[in-house]
Each structure stands twice: as C-alpha cells, then as structure tokens.
C-alpha cells in the first residue's frame, strides 16, 4: 500500500476533532505540564514556514510530555487587537473586527492542516468582551492600588488614603511619580479633586502629563519598544516627542523585582541581559551641590562618587527646571536660544548627531562641598532629563562624553584615578578619557590611595555625614504609557467627573467597544472613540476616549487559558493552583523588551493581589530562530553594456590585428572604441540612437579622415542567440579596410529583456541582479516558460543559457539568503508544502533543519529527504510479524528511545529526527517487521509525525489513539555490548580500529594492540613511552 498522506491526514484530523482527543481538564491524578506558544497576531499575510517552527516544536514537546504521563495544557488563541487591521479600517471603512475574524479563520485553517494538538476549547481572543472584561478588570485593580516599598508589594489604595489621613506623608515609603510632603491635616483639608490629583502620584495606573512618542501618521502615541531609530516599528513613520496627558502603568515600582526575578528563570542569558539592560539598574549616589552666591542647590546622580574631586563642570539637561533660576542676565539670551534649539530637535536628529558636542554656559557656579572650588554650570543635550535627575557632575578625565565636552569648550581636566601601578600624567596630553572602573585615587584629599570601589563607599559615607548626599539606586526603566489614540483596543472603564478620572464599577464590565462611523481621529484631533454616540455613563459622565495598547490583552492571557470561560472571575483559584504557570514558553526573541517584561509585571501584580500563585509567568523559555528565505536571482542584462563588453572582448585581445582604445575622448566627442593607428571608430548603440547620430558622425569622420562603423545592438544580440557571426565578420572587414557601410539600417531591437545564466563569465560586468519567484526555480534552474508567464513585462524575455553536463541548455539562477518576505518572492507557504508532501513531512523537516534557536535558511530541496524518510518508514509496516525481535533490532530501538528522551528534554529536535532516520535505516537493512519493535516505534514518532503514527497504530489493530499511549521505557540491557571497537592512536593520531572485550585489563589491551598486525608499521624504530587506555573510549600509544 502506498503512503497516501493526503487521505491519512484528513482522516485523523477529523478523528481527533470528533473524539476531542486534545481536550484537557484538571486531573489531580496526573502531574500538570503547561506548554505555550507566544500569542500570534493574525496578520493578513497568513503563515509562512517560519511561523509554525515554534508551534511545531511546542507541539512535539506537548505530545511527548503527554506520552510521558503528564496532563498537558497546550492552548492557542489570538492577540486580536492590532494596528494593521485598524489601518486597513481607516483606509477602507471595513470594521477591524471583520478583517480580524477573516485573518483568524485563515490562520486557523493553516494551523489545522499541520496537525497541532491544541485544546481549541480554550481558545481566547483579546478582542472578545468575555476576555477583555478581565483586561479592564485588571486595569481597575491597578488604578486602585499603590506599591509599598517596605512590604515590596501592591496594596489597595484605600490603605494609602487611610495612612495619609492619619499621618500625611510622614514615614511614607511607596512608589510615586515625585516625592510629596504634606501633613495629615493638609490632606484632610484638601478638596476631593485635590485628593484625587494627589493620589495620581501613587496609583499603579495613573494619568499624567508625560513626554510621549507621538506618531502623527498613525495618530497615536507609541511605547518605547514600539519605536526604533525615531521611527515607528509598524509602518516606519516618524515619531516626535510631545507632552500629552496619558495613562501610565507604574512598572518602575516593580523594577527591582523584575530584575531579581530573572535569576530564577530558565531563559537564555541573552534575553535576560536584554531585560537587565532595559531595566538598567545602576547604584550610585545622589549629591546636592550648592550654587555659589545663591541660596539654592541642585541634585545630581552619579555612579562615581569617588571622582568628586575631578569635577570641573556641571551639566543640566535642556529641560531642567532650574535653568531659568541659574542663568545670569549676561547669559540669558544665549541659554534661551540653546534651550529652544535643543527642544525642537527631533529624536532622529538627536540620535544621528550623538557625536556633535553642543552646550551653553549658564553663568552660575556650583561649589565643591569639600574644597570650595567653583564649578561652572552648563546646559547641554547630552544630558537627558529622563534619567537620574537630569543633571550631572562632569568628570572629564574619566568619562568620554565629559571629556569631549571639556575639550570642545576648553574646560579644565583633572585626573583623580590612576591606573594601578602607574603615575598620574598630565591630562592635557591625553587624546581620550580614562574611563577607569579600576584604579587608585589621586588628587583627592582623603580618598588618595584608595581603590575605586573603596573610594565610592567612603565618599558616600562622607556625603551622608555632611547631609548633602546619599547612596541611591537608579533605574533606566520608564513607566509604561498605556493610552493609545486608537479605536481598535480595549476601552478604559474610566469616566470623568470635574475633569478627574474615576473607576467604573466592576459589575459594569465589560465596557464594550462602541461602534463608530469612521475609524480615524475627530476633526479636533480627539481619538476615534470621541465619535461614539452616547459615550457617557448612565449618570451622563463622559467616558475615557483612549483605548489600551496591544500589550494590555497579551499580558495575562496565559492565565486566562487555565479557565477561559469563567465569567465570574479572571480564572478560578482551583485552575490556577493546578496549572500554576507556564513550564515551557516558545516564541521569538523580539518580545524581550515588550511583551516579556509587561506580562512579568502584570503577573507580579496579580500575584500581589493573591490571584496568581506564581510570581513569574514563564519558567522556561526557548526562543526560536528565524527562518530565512533563499531568494533566487536572475541576472538581467544591461543591453548596451553587454554588447559593448562583447565587442571589447574581441578588440582588446587584438584579434583583428589592431589596437583599440575604449571610451576614447577627442574634444567633446567620445567614441566607444577607437583605433588611433588607422583612425577607426566603432560605436555601439540602439538602432534609433545610431540613426540620430549617423549623419553628424559621418561628417566628423570625414573631416578628420576617420572611418566609422556603427553597430546596432540588435545585431550583436542576434549573433548571441542564433550563434551567427554577422557582427564579427563585419568588424573584421572593417578593420581590414574593406568597404563596409557605416550603418546598415534594420529593425530596432524589440525583444523583451535579456537574462544571462549565472555561470557565464564576467556577467557582473554587464548585468544587474533581479529577484525571481522561487516557485519557478527548481534546483537553481529557471523554468523559462513559467518565468515568461510570471509578469507581463517578461513575456518576451530572452535568455542566454549555459550548458549542463549533458549538453542541455539551461538557465541557472544565483541565490541569496535574506529575510523571508513577499517582496523578495522567496516565501514558502506551509499550505503548499502540506499539499505536496503532507503535514508530517513538513513537521519533520522544519525540525530537521537545525537547532530550534538558530536562524537558518529554508532550503526548498531538502524537504524531499524527510519525505523519502517517511515513505521508508511507512514501508517497514507493510507486513507485521509477531515473532520476537532480535537482539540487534532491540538495540536499534532502545538506542533511539534513549536518544529521543534525552534530546527532547534539551530541546534538540533536529538530532531526534536524524536518530529516527538512523534507526529506520538500520531496521530496513535488517528487514525488521516485528510488532515488538514497530509498535513502540509508532508511539515514539507520534509527537513528530502524528498522522502517520496514528494510521499505523490503527493498522496494527488498535482502536484507541496513539496519543493516549505511554512512551516506551528505556532498558539499558538491550544496548550493552561485551566488546568495543577501539580506535587505536599513535601520538594522538588514529591509525586503525581494534575490537576488544570490554572487560579486558590494561596490560592485556596493551599486548593485544602491540601484537596487532597493523601496529607493526607504527612501532618500527621507535619505543613505546606510554599507553593511554580509556575503557570504552580510546587507546592512545605515545611513541618516540
């Protein structure tokens, strides 16, 4: 019987669906295992072969764990809110829900064909009111919470209100936007509005004026991770900085926990590093400097308190609020000019001009608290308002940016750290700063002689003693902007009373997204929701018109999967206690600073509320690599270039007995080819052009006594294609002085574009690469007919072919590894491959390609190999025998059991596929058809190729699903051997193999080796110095 994958796959996909084979429920008799794929956004383009890579890996893992006796939660759903559907809505008026639904159906169809074991009963969509009810609910909890730094967790805001009314801010240690100070009396005297405003300083979801990334083209603000190089990640539109009232999440309150939590996670170091970097913890000191002759001071943050004696100037960010106060009358105009200029620069300009030094002196001086030195205070945009205090103490000797600034404005430089064991030198001679993290302090009074580390600690002590500074930790992480001026997102359950936001009642949730007439901002620039009719509460208060960002819905989705249909709570305690958190999370590394940080934050908050039982959502994570495309390239001939080149090749080799010069210039004229000796001009061009110039050129030639030959490119091309010699003959005659007409009128070249095969010599000189659809290229050979049909302009394409080994004319394409994308015509669609080879082949091949985490190109040919393997595998099962298996057969099987177990556990799927191939090759060679081998083998391959496994399982007489079987037990006794084929090396170089019993003693081994006939040659004339014998590994004889 043939391996009919089409029929088999359809049959079993239906069987699994009808029998709900992949449905899971809480089962306290089994250990749980939670395998999750990163939430996909269903884009209109559908899946290409890169997308299912991670899904196949997680599917294999889930199926394997199930065979191992785990109760496996393996759900899938959709991150259904997103910009593309909304952009499309703006352009076409189609409701984004319609577009999204369509895309989801397409995704689902594609996924179903691959045979995943998702429990689709648990599907969630972020745009479903039953789902976003809980997104809104969580937002309200955030709104009604603050973060207590002492107990290191979120607490209800009512607790804070209580505290403030009793003690004011006295002794308060909570996360806030800026430290406030008031008494209980003052608090109690505040109006409700004032109190609400004050609470915004503490809420975990709060409304504030902030500098945001405003994207005018998209009409919305973007989060930091949605902006790259000053452009929006989606769409690539310019982004500017703008101050707006926005909702924010106080993720910074969790900075330390987000950082510490990384230590407990089984993630790659590189992702952890990206997150550490993003959180950007730095420990240093805040120091207050007095301003000379004024009764004010200002605060700087530094990680290098030890270098305080090396401070020669101060720098404030252009946005710093004390600039006005500090600017002297004489400097006012200059400072104002500079600040205006700096503020108006776009993010992009700033980023591209990082190296340019600019700044202005305020006219004021700070005072060094230890030696009274007056230090000039400058303003420069190399200091950022958003980090630390927006002011720095500059130590040019030991900071490269300060150094550049000091050199540019001729400010003094004082060395305060010397390299260990070296004397200080004159900084005037330096070409760069010495950014010393290690060294010994000099020129620093009481710090002299201390190491950098000691000096930092000592200085902080001194600062604290004087009450002008203290040790401080700073984070780079910013609060997450949570408002989007968009339609397609979760509405905020917030209404406004007296312009102050209030939380809606929880039992009003979900607050459903209203329908509107158009999806763009209003004429007055308000968000699209402002178009909604009656967008007010029952009491008539206006409802918030912003919507939530993409990461709102995707931050807690893994929890909802545990109990997806619960309308009374986010998820039940029972479900959460059973499923806990994700054991294996598979997805791309590109979410490192977005989703993966937001959802950790979201989870920690829910943990604080007592909802989530685990502090971290994703225990182990694997980031799959990208599948790159392999683009095909046809070289398109530049007609004039190639014809000139072809002629030049003949001329320069002097084959016509004359010396020609290429591109010869005479006065204002330029000849393609010129022979000064005989005054011959050869010009090559299109017929039309030649006709135009023929007359004046003829005159010119006559005047100078030259002879002229005008060669139309059409003639040369005809020679190429038809293998004729017309042009060559004409040139020869011309050179030999025969009477050749300068121009023979003829047809203009009217053929289509000309392409030239890859391996023809020198094609880089006269052709330009053009990307070709990979579907019309097989094994780098272009299908010429399909190519001509591909596009209208190629209908008349001509080809200069090369010959293959059999002498057939073929057109060979070049190739290039790059991103898989529609525009590069290199997209492999999984549907096509499933149709051609079946899902099992696709699954195996995607895994076989290489390590999951590595990026690798998609080789369109390679899939044949796994297809052949499955056919070979299928053949093993043609007649099943109940005879007992032989020792060799058992060995082969158990080798595979061990390999598969070990390799799946370490996420090495490619090597397992390879092990399957080895085993099947061995069994085929042994002509094995034993049930005792083939039954366990079918179970073992089922995670990888579930359809063929299920079919063969049933063919062997079973009525239950292969999915519900147990993975075979490895029995080491099947693989023990009593002899070993030792590689015998002399001086570390392997010379021959020798089979020896495993229990042989070293002396006997040595004897056996020395007496082996092959050894003789290597022992002649030398003596044995040493024998290295490692049982079951190697024998190495050291001779000399």
Partner RNA sequence: GCGGAUGUGGCGUAAUUGGUAGCCGCGCCAGACUUAGGAUCUGGUUCCGUAAGGAGUAUGGGUUCGAGUCCCUUCAUCCGCACCA
Alpha helices (H) along 345-451: 347-352, 400-409
Name the CA dihedral angle for 546, 547, 551, 557, rounded to a multiple of 10 degrees: 150
Look at the block and give the residue holding tokens 């063929």: 948
> Is residue 866 close enough to count as binding RNA by CB under 7 A?
yes
Binders of RNA in range 29-68 (CB under 7 A): none
DSSP 439-465: -EE-S-GGGTT-BHHHHHHHHHHHHHH
> Is residue 907 close enough to count as binding RNA by CB under 7 A?
no
> Is residue 871 close enough to count as binding RNA by CB under 7 A?
yes
Pick the binder of RNA from 688, 862, 884, 997 (CB under 7 A). 862
Quick one: which segment of 209-217, 350-358, 516-524, 754-762 binds RNA (CB under 7 A)?
350-358
Give 155 or 841: the residue with its C-beta nearer to RNA. 841
Quick one: which segment of 166-174, 389-397, 411-419, 500-508 binds RNA (CB under 7 A)?
389-397
Pick the binder of RNA from 98, 151, 354, 466 (CB under 7 A). 354
Between the two ends of the chain, the Cα-to-Cα distance in Å is: 63
- Under the phi-then-psi rule, with left for phi > 0, alpha for psi from -120 to 50, and beta for the rest, what region is 518? beta
> Is residue 818 close enough to count as binding RNA by CB under 7 A?
no
> Is residue 231 close enough to count as binding RNA by CB under 7 A?
no
Distance of alpha carbon 897 from alpha carbon 917, whole angstroms: 13
- Write 786-795 long-range contacts (CB < 8 A, 24+): 787/634, 793/752, 793/753, 794/752, 794/753, 795/752
> Is residue 356 close enough to count as binding RNA by CB under 7 A?
yes
Q: In degrees, to the nearest 5, what angle opens at C-alpha 608 toward C-alphas 605 and 612?
A: 80
> Is residue 843 close enough to count as binding RNA by CB under 7 A?
no
Pick the binder of RNA from 668, 927, 1026, 1040 (CB under 7 A). 1026
Quick one: which segment of 34-42, 242-250, 712-720, 1029-1037 binds RNA (CB under 7 A)?
1029-1037
Look at the block and give the residue holding tokens 């009719």: 533
Pick the binder of RNA from 983, 994, 1006, 1019 (CB under 7 A). 983
- Residue 84 CB, nearest approach to RNA (Å): 20
Pick the binder of RNA from 141, 555, 685, 1036 (CB under 7 A). 1036
Spell out, one character per residue from 582 to 601, where the chain touches RNA: x when CB under 7 A holds, - when not: -------xx-xx--------
> Is residue 789 close enough to count as binding RNA by CB under 7 A?
no
Q: Indicate if the alpha-carbon torsion angle 1022, 1027, 1032, 1034 is positive or negative.
A: negative
- Residue 837 CB, nearest approach to RNA (Å): 11
Closest CA to 489 of 529, 451, 537: 529
> Is residue 1038 close enough to count as binding RNA by CB under 7 A?
yes
CA–CA distances in Å: residue 980 to residues 930, 984, 994, 1009: 27, 12, 8, 13
Give 149 or 277: the residue with its C-beta nearer to RNA. 277
- Residue 489 CB, nearest approach to RNA (Å): 23
Classified as helix, coil or strand, 981 is strand
Quick one: which segment of 110-118, 702-710, 886-894, 1028-1036 binds RNA (CB under 7 A)?
1028-1036
Give 747 or 864: the residue with its C-beta nearer to RNA. 864
> Is residue 363 close enough to count as binding RNA by CB under 7 A?
no
Closest CA to 511 of 527, 496, 490: 490
Quick one: which segment of 36-44, 483-491, 650-658, 980-988 binds RNA (CB under 7 A)?
980-988
> Is residue 228 close enough to count as binding RNA by CB under 7 A?
yes
Question: Is the CB of residue 543 less than 8 Å from the CB of residue 511?
Answer: yes
Give 164 or 262: the residue with its C-beta nearer to RNA. 262
Binders of RNA in range 592-651 (CB under 7 A): 592-593
Contacts with 371 (C-beta within 8 Å, 6 or more apart), sequence order: 309, 445
Give 888 or 903: the residue with its C-beta nearer to RNA. 903
Would you state the structure tokens that stand for residue 904, as one six-digit string? 């799946």
Quick one: which segment of 54-62, 575-583, 933-941, 985-993 binds RNA (CB under 7 A)?
985-993
Q: Give me the count of residues in the chain.
A: 1040
Would you state the structure tokens that stand for residue 122, as one six-digit string? 């648990």
Give 189 or 283: the residue with its C-beta nearer to RNA. 283
Distance of alpha carbon 994 from alpha carbon 998, whole angstroms: 12
Distance of alpha carbon 826 from alpha carbon 823, whole angstroms: 8
Quick one: which segment of 644-652, 670-678, 910-918, 970-978 binds RNA (CB under 7 A)?
910-918
Q: Indicate if the alpha-carbon torsion angle 253, 259, 262, 264 is positive or negative.
A: negative
> Is residue 274 close enough to count as binding RNA by CB under 7 A?
yes
Contacts with 3 (C-beta within 8 Å, 6 or more apart), sequence order: 870, 871, 874, 948
Distance of alpha carbon 198 from alpha carbon 190, whole angstroms: 9
Pick the binder of RNA from 234, 698, 872, 931 (CB under 7 A). 872
- Using CB under 7 A as the binding criterion, the count of chain residues that bind RNA stands at 92
> Is residue 344 close enough to count as binding RNA by CB under 7 A?
no
Closest CA to 137 of 534, 541, 553: 553
Spell out, one character per residue from 732 to 771, where the chain touches RNA: x when CB under 7 A holds, - when not: ----------------------------------------
Question: Is the CB of residue 495 less than 8 Å from the CB of residue 537?
Answer: yes
Strands 979-986 and 1034-1039, by their bridges, are parallel
CA 346 to chain centre: 26
Look at the block and give the residue holding tokens 């884009």: 43
Distance of alpha carbon 484 from alpha carbon 458, whole angstroms: 47
Quick one: which segment of 79-87, 278-286, 323-331, 733-741 binds RNA (CB under 7 A)?
278-286
Pick the binder of RNA from 150, 652, 966, 1017 (CB under 7 A). 1017
Spell out, one character per residue from 295 to 314, where the chain touches RNA: x when CB under 7 A holds, - when not: ------xxxx----------
Question: Is the CB of residue 121 less than 8 Å from the CB of residue 550?
Answer: no
- Residue 928 CB, nearest approach to RNA (Å): 14
Quick one: which segment of 39-47, 761-769, 776-784, 824-832 binds RNA (CB under 7 A)?
776-784
Question: Is the CB of residue 209 less than 8 Å from the CB of residue 243?
Answer: yes
> Is residue 352 close enough to count as binding RNA by CB under 7 A?
no
> Is residue 869 close enough to count as binding RNA by CB under 7 A?
yes
Classified as helix, coil or strand, 802 is strand
> Is residue 536 close enough to count as binding RNA by CB under 7 A?
no
> Is residue 353 close enough to count as binding RNA by CB under 7 A?
yes
> Is residue 403 close enough to count as binding RNA by CB under 7 A?
no
- Residue 998 CB, nearest approach to RNA (Å): 13
Give 383 or 529: the residue with its C-beta nearer to RNA. 383
Closest CA to 457 of 283, 281, 311: 283
Give 390 or 564: the residue with its C-beta nearer to RNA. 390
Give 101 or 783: the residue with its C-beta nearer to RNA. 783
Classified as helix, coil or strand, 410 is coil
Would you state the structure tokens that stand for residue 338, as one six-digit string? 């500079």
Spell out, one character per residue from 473 to 492, where the chain touches RNA: x when CB under 7 A holds, - when not: -x-x----------------
> Is residue 910 close enough to count as binding RNA by CB under 7 A?
yes
> Is residue 854 close enough to count as binding RNA by CB under 7 A?
yes
Classified as helix, coil or strand, 315 is strand
Quick one: which segment of 173-181, 464-472, 994-1002, 1026-1034 binds RNA (CB under 7 A)?
1026-1034
Give 805 or 822: the residue with its C-beta nearer to RNA. 805
Pick the binder of RNA from 899, 936, 965, 1015 (CB under 7 A). 899
Distance of alpha carbon 674 from alpha carbon 380, whole angstroms: 63
Look at the block and give the residue holding tokens 């025998």: 881
> Is residue 348 close enough to count as binding RNA by CB under 7 A?
no
Give 375 or 639: the residue with its C-beta nearer to RNA. 375
Bridge partners, 990 (sequence order): 985
């Amino acid at each position: 019987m043939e391996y009919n994958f089409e029929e088999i796959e359809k049959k079993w996909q239906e069987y699994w669906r009808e029998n709900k084979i992949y449905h899971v429920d809480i089962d306290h008799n089994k250990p749980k295992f939670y395998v999750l794929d990163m939430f996909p956004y269903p884009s209109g383009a559908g899946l290409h072969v890169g997308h299912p890579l991670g899904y196949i890996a997680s599917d294999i893992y889930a199926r394997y764990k199930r065979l191992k006796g785990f109760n496996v939660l393996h759900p899938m759903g959709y991150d259904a809110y997103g910009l593309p559907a909304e952009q499309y809505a703006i352009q076409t008026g189609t409701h984004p829900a319609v577009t999204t639904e369509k895309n989801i159906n397409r995704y689902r169809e594609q996924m179903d064909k691959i045979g995943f074991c998702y429990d689709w009963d648990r599907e969630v969509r972020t745009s479903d009111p039953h789902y976003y009810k809980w997104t809104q609910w969580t937002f309200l909890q955030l709104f009604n919470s603050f973060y207590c730094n002492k107990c290191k967790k979120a607490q209800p805001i009512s607790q804070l209100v209580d505290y403030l009314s009793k003690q004011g801010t006295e002794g308060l240690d909570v996360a806030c936007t800026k430290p406030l100070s008031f008494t209980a009396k003052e608090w109690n005297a505040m109006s409700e509005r004032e109190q609400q405003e004050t609470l915004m300083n503490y809420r975990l979801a709060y409304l504030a004026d902030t500098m945001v990334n405003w994207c005018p083209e998209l009409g919305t603000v973007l989060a930091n991770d949605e902006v790259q190089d000053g452009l929006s990640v989606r769409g690539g539109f310019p982004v500017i900085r703008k101050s707006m009232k926005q909702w924010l999440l106080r993720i910074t309150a969790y900075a330390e926990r987000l950082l510490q939590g990384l230590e407990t996670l089984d993630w790659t170091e590189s992702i952890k590093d990206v997150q550490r970097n993003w959180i950007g913890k730095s420990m240093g000191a805040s120091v207050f400097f007095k301003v000379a002759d004024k009764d004010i001071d200002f605060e700087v943050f530094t990680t290098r308190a030890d270098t305080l004696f090396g401070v020669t100037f101060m720098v404030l960010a252009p946005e710093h609020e004390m600039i006005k106060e500090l600017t002297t009358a004489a400097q006012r105009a200059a400072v104002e000019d500079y600040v205006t200029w700096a503020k108006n620069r776009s993010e992009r300009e700033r980023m591209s001009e990082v190296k340019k030094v600019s700044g202005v002196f305020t006219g004021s001086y700070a005072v060094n608290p230890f030696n009274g030195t007056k230090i000039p205070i400058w303003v420069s945009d190399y200091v950022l308002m958003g980090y630390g205090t927006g002011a720095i103490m500059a130590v040019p000797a030991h900071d490269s940016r300060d150094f550049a600034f000091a050199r540019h404005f001729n400010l003094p430089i004082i060395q305060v750290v010397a390299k260990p064991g070296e004397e200080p030198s004159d900084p005037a001679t330096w070409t760069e700063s010495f950014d010393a993290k290690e060294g010994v302090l000099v020129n620093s009074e009481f710090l002299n002689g201390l190491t950098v580390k000691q000096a930092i600690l000592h200085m902080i002590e001194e600062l604290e003693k004087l009450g002008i500074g203290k040790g401080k930790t700073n984070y780079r992480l910013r609060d997450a902007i949570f408002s989007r001026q968009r339609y397609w997102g979760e509405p905020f359950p917030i209404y406004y009373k007296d312009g102050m936001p209030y939380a809606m009642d929880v039992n009003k949730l979900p607050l459903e997204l209203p329908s509107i007439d158009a999806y763009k901002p209003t004429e007055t620039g308000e968000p699209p929701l402002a178009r909604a009719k009656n967008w007010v509460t029952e009491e008539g208060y206006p409802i918030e018109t912003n919507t939530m960002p993409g990461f709102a819905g995707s931050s807690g989705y893994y929890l909802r999967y545990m109990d997806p249909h619960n309308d009374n709570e986010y998820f039940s305690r029972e479900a959460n206690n059973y499923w806990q958190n994700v054991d294996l999370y598979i997805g791309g590394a590109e979410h490192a600073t977005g989703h993966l940080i937001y959802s950790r934050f979201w989870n920690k908050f829910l943990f604080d509320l007592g909802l989530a039982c685990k502090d971290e959502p994703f225990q182990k994570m694997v980031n799959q690599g990208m599948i790159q495309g392999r683009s095909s390239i046809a070289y398109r001939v530049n007609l004039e270039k190639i014809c000139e080149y072809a002629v030049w090749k003949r001329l320069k080799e002097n084959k016509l007995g004359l010396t020609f010069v290429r591109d010869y210039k005479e006065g204002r004229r330029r000849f393609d080819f010129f022979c000064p000796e005989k005054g011959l001009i050869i010009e090559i061009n299109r017929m039309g052009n030649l006709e135009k110039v023929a007359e004046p050129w003829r005159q010119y030639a006559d005047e100078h006594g030259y002879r002229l030959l005008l060669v139309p490119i059409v003639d040369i091309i005809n020679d190429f294609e038809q293998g004729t010699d017309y042009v060559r003959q004409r040139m020869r005659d011309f050179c030999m002085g025969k009477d050749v007409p300068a121009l023979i009128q003829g047809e203009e070249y009217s053929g289509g574009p000309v392409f030239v095969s890859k391996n023809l010599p020198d094609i880089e000189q006269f052709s330009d690469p053009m990307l070709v659809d990979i579907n019309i290229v097989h094994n780098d050979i272009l299908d010429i007919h399909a190519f001509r049909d591909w596009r209208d302009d190629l209908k008349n394409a001509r080809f200069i072919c090369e010959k293959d080994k059999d002498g057939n004319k073929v057109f060979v394409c070049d190739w290039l590894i790059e991103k898989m994308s529609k525009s590069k015509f290199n997209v492999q669609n999984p549907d096509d491959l499933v149709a051609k080879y079946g899902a099992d082949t696709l699954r195996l091949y995607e895994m076989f390609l290489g390590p999951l985490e590595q990026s690798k190109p998609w080789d369109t040919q390679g899939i044949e190999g796994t297809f052949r393997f499955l056919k070979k595998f299928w053949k093993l099962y043609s007649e099943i025998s109940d005879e007992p298996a032989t020792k060799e057969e058992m060995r082969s099987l158990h080798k595979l059991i061990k390999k598969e177990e070990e390799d799946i556990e370490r996420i090495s799927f490619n090597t397992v596929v390879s092990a399957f191939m080895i085993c099947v090759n061995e069994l085929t060679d042994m002509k094995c058809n034993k049930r005792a081998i083939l039954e366990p083998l079918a179970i073992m391959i089922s995670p990888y190729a579930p359809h063929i496994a299920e079919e063969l399982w049933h063919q062997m007489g079973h009525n239950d699903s292969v999915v519900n079987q147990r993975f075979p037990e490895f029995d080491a006794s099947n693989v023990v051997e009593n002899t070993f084929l030792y590689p015998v090396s002399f001086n570390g170089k392997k010379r021959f193999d020798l089979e020896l019993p495993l229990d042989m003693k070293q002396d006997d081994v040595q004897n056996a080796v020395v007496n082996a006939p092959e050894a003789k040659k290597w022992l002649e004339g030398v003596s044995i110095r040493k024998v290295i014998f490692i049982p079951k590994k190697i024998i190495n004889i050291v001779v000399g």
